[in-house]
Amino acid sequence: MVNIESNNKVALITGANKGLGLEMSRQLSQQGLTVLIAARNLQAAETATTSLKNEGLKAQAIALDITNSSHIQTAVQTIENQFGKLDVLINNAGVMLDGEWSISNASSVSLDIIRQTFNTNFFALVELTQALLPLILKSSSGRIVNMASIEGSLTLHADPTSLIYDSKPFAYDASKAAVNSFTVHLAHELRNTPVKVNSAHPGWVKTDLGGEGAMMDITEGAKTGVQLATLAADGPSGGFFHLGKPVPW
């Protein structure tokens, strides 16, 4: 498969001021896309943008707290006024509030933690995607990438032989399973359009979320999101992938 033409393509990446978001911004910029680096704090977004510009890449800072509806509407208006369309949306921003990965806490995690987790990882993601969809539909090759996690796989959580069987932070895992459901449903709704919607498992990556014990560096971890953001017209939609290979739902 040949990747989409990158000339004049515009991508928005949430939580892009550091970690996977920044590295996906770098890799897409290297392919010729103009990347909008979104972060809750404009100064953080501008610092990240400057670092890419110093590498000769095309990037632009945008303040976007995805849990703030007014921020979302301002971002949509800014993109519409400046570009008239959006070619790539990578829903990367997320939180893990359970505390530890190697726990099983469905009986004890507080409803407040569950609500906070879903508010960022799911509800805000859905609201932002719905708000930007009219602009994505104006693209000749719109791509929506939901950064999920293998922790959202019900199949693997139910398998005693899987690597994640004993890792069950409920709030985080359930939010990512919900994201995967959104991917499947939105992809079906858009099946007769050029837009492709997929979930990405980046891997266990050395980020603030993944920790220093993670097995993958950020450069490698960014590859799955970038691959799905630049799928060719004959690429998949409605799937869950890691480095080009399907991940069980």
Q: Structural domain boundaries of the chain?
A: 10-95+122-149+173-246
The pTM for the full model equals 0.94
Average pLDDT value for residue range 18-27: 95
Span 224-240, average pLDDT: 98
Overall average pLDDT of the 62-79 stretch: 98
Task: Output the pLDDT for position 230.
Answer: 98
- Is the pLDDT reported for residue 154 higher than 70? yes
Q: Could you tell me which residues come within 8 angstroms of residue 241 by beta carbon, excluding any fewer than 6 positions away?
A: 198, 199, 200, 201, 224, 227, 228, 247
- Do 30 and 24 contact (CB within 8 A), yes or no? no
Q: What is the pLDDT of residue 235?
A: 98
DSSP codes joined into one string, 13-43: ETT-SSHHHHHHHHHHHHTT-EEEEEESSHH
239-245 average pLDDT score: 97
CA distances for 136 relative to 116, 128, 245, angstroms? 28, 12, 25
- Per-residue pLDDT at 162 exceeds 80: yes
Q: Which residues are catalytic?
A: 172
Instruction: Determine the average pLDDT of the residues in 201-227.
Output: 75
- Per-residue pLDDT, averaged over 78-95, amounts to 98
Name the fold adopted by 10-95+122-149+173-246. Answer: Rossmann fold (3.40.50)
Split at pLDDT 50, 70, 90, the class of 209 is: low
